[in-house]
């Protein structure tokens, strides 16, 4: 029982840390989330290259 409680608390902590690092989609406005989904679908449909965030920021700054 003691180990089970420890594991359940660790799982809860892991979930909280993940939410801090990666907020759930519900944290964003619905219009923003739908724009992201549409952009992902468009990039797959048209075989557009995927960028890492740093690459994307560099491209935007150019």
The pLDDT tens digits for 8-39 are: 898 998 888 877 766 666 677 778 778 888 88
Mean pLDDT of the region 43-47: 80
Residues in the chain: 62
pTM: 0.36
Given phi > 0 = left and psi -120 to 50 = alpha, else beta, which region is 28? Answer: beta
At residue 1 the predicted structure's pLDDT band, cuts being 50, 70 and 90, is low
Q: 2-6, 11-15, 44-48: which range is least confident on average?
A: 44-48
So where are the chain's domains?
2-61
């Amino acid at each position: 029982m003691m180990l089970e409680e420890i594991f359940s608390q660790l799982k809860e902590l892991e979930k909280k840390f993940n939410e801090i690092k990666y907020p759930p989609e519900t944290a964003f406005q619905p219009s923003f989330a739908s724009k992201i989904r549409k952009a992902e679908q468009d990039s797959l449909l048209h075989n557009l290259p995927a960028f890492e965030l740093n690459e994307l920021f560099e491209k935007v700054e150019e």
